[in-house]
Structure 1
């Protein structure tokens, strides 16, 4: 606004120059009234103040695992499994025997000479006379039994197979032992609210309240001015 007034004053001084200076516009001095305008300003409505502000407690949701069923470990004994199989048992082992067929014999009678025939001399009385006679002594024999072989003895060997017996026996098919059965514990999720920070209060400084206020201001003060006029020479 000061710049505007300076320009107006400079203009008023310039307009007082004589017309002979060659101007094309003419002005006359006038007294201008004061001009007013309205401005809108943001103005604090009250001073800053301090106040106690309550603060809520802070809470959180915690999920816990709650046991529903306990786990267990169970050991169970499993007896062995048996099956039936056929087994051959040797009652008498195989062996080699010698077979003998005795000889076939028969008895025959035969005459054997115990002493052969012979001649001998002996004195005899024949008709009162002593005579030397030659005497033939026959052979002395005897009969005896003799065994003769009709067929000779025979010998050979034979393999006698083993004497066996088939028996049904019970044998283990699978060994016994222990079977372990277990189950883990079972849980379910349960939520609960826990306090992280307790409720309280804090002292806060409140900013002053502001409002828009309209204010009348002088846009141009009263003072001398120039007004253009139209004259034949201008």
Structure 2
């Protein structure tokens, strides 16, 4: 409807110019007055870059922990101990002279006579050192000696990773001129003028 009005108004732009050349005082058939059609704007929404995309690196330090560890201080050892021989003194009765028969002179009633005589065996108690247990070499085992130490161990090595930050946009609104303001002639109702 507005476009139709503007077309009609534009067609009337030269009409008053022609009418001015006609002598005044005639009967007015139609009257027009000049009016201003305001400019036409529209709202445009547009995304504007507020902050460009960027990235940064995050460093993660190494992680350590403490733990107990069993360490060998002295290995197992074997030494030998020598046990001397054990002796014991024992006494035994041994025959020193066996029983025998011999001849010997005796004096009986003033007479010297030869007699056959039996001699018993002669015994004697003697001490003797007897080996009870021979010398020996005995192995003595000494167990290993351990100790516990507290040490710092690496649980997770140091690392890094990159964080990406997307660009930040903002939507802004602005007025855009669609059609500038213009002067047009539009019909008016006045007394003495038909319309």
Determine if the TM-score, normalized by the shorter chain, exceeds 0.5: no
Larger Rg: 1
TM-score, normalization by structure 1: 0.38
TM-score, normalization by structure 2: 0.44
